[in-house]
Structure 1
Amino acid sequence: MSDVHITHIGGPTALIEVGEWRLLTDPTFDPPGRRYSFGLGTSSHKVAGPALALSDLPPIDAVLLSHDHHGDNLDDAGRALLPSAKVVITTVAGARRLGGRARGLKPWAATRLEAPGQPTLEITATPARHGPPLSRPLTGDVIGFALTWKGQQHGALWISGDTVLFDGVRQIADRFQVGTALIHLGGVRFPITGPIRYTMTAADAVELCGLLRPQLAIPVHYEGWDHFQQGRDSMERDFARAPEDVRSRIHWLPVGVTTAVTA
Structure 2
Amino acid sequence: MSTAPVPGTAPSSVRVTHIGGPTTLLEFAGWRLLTDPTFDPAGRRYAFGWGTSSRKLAGPAIPAGEIGPIDAVLLTHDHHGDNLDEAGRALLPSAGTVITTVPGAARLGAGARGLSPWQSTTLEAPGRPSIEVTATPCRHGPPLSHPIVGDVVGFALRWDGQRHGVLWISGDTVLYGGVRHVAERLTVGLTLLHLGGVRFPVTGPLRYTMTARDAVDLLGTVRPHTAVPVHYEGWQHFQQPRATIEREFADAPPDVRDRIRWLPLGTPTDLET
- Structure 2 equivalent of residue 63 of structure 1: 73
1:261 has 2:251 as partner: no
Matched position secondary structure for 2:18: strand
- Structure 1 equivalent of residue 6 of structure 2: none
Matched position secondary structure for 2:238: coil
Residue type of the alignment partner of 1:23: L
Distance in 2, matches of 1:101 and 1:9, equals 26
Contact 1:128 1:161 in 2 (8 A): yes
Distance in 1, matches of 2:145 and 2:103, equals 16
% identical aligned pairs = 68
Distance in 2, matches of 1:15 and 1:103, equals 19
Unaligned runs of 5+ in 1: none
* 4+ long deviations beyond 2 Å: none
Q: Counterparts in 2 of 1:77-96, with a 5 A limit? A: 77-96=87-106
Once the two structures are TM-superposed, the CA of residue 246 in structure 1 deviates from its matched residue by 0.4
Distance in 2, matches of 1:179 and 1:55, equals 31
Contact 1:86 1:101 in 2 (8 A): no
Once the two structures are TM-superposed, the CA of residue 55 in structure 1 deviates from its matched residue by 1.6
Unaligned runs of 5+ in 2: 1-10
Residue type of the alignment partner of 2:231: H
Q: 1:210 aligns with which of 217, 220, 228?
A: 220
Cα distance per residue 1:85-120 (max 9 Å; x no partner): 011000000000000020000000000001111000
- Structure 1 equivalent of residue 8 of structure 2: none
1:242 has 2:239 as partner: no
Matched position secondary structure for 1:192: helix
Cα distance per residue 1:176-221 (max 9 Å; x no partner): 1000010000000000000000000000000010001001010000
Residue type of the alignment partner of 2:67: L
Cα distance per residue 1:36-74 (max 9 Å; x no partner): 000000000001000001121120010000000000000
Once the two structures are TM-superposed, the CA of residue 18 in structure 1 deviates from its matched residue by 1.7
1:105 has 2:152 as partner: no
Residue type of the alignment partner of 1:31: P
Contact 1:22 1:58 in 2 (8 A): no
- Structure 1 equivalent of residue 202 of structure 2: 192
Residue type of the alignment partner of 2:216: V
Q: Counterparts in 2 of 1:41-60, with a 5 A limit? A: 41-60=51-70
TM-score (norm 2): 0.96
Distance in 2, matches of 1:18 and 1:97, equals 30
Q: Counterparts in 2 of 1:6-155, with a 5 A limit? A: 6-155=16-165
RMSD (CA atoms):
0.5
Matched position secondary structure for 2:263: coil
Tell me the matched-pair count: 263
Matched position secondary structure for 1:22: strand
- Structure 2 equivalent of residue 156 of structure 1: 166
Cα distance per residue 1:122-160 (max 9 Å; x no partner): 000000000011101110000000000001000000001
TM-score (norm 1): 0.99
Residue type of the alignment partner of 1:30: D
Q: 2:185 aligns with which of 162, 175, 185?
A: 175
Contact 1:202 1:235 in 2 (8 A): yes
Contact 1:156 1:180 in 2 (8 A): yes
Q: 1:221 aligns with which of 231, 237, 246?
A: 231
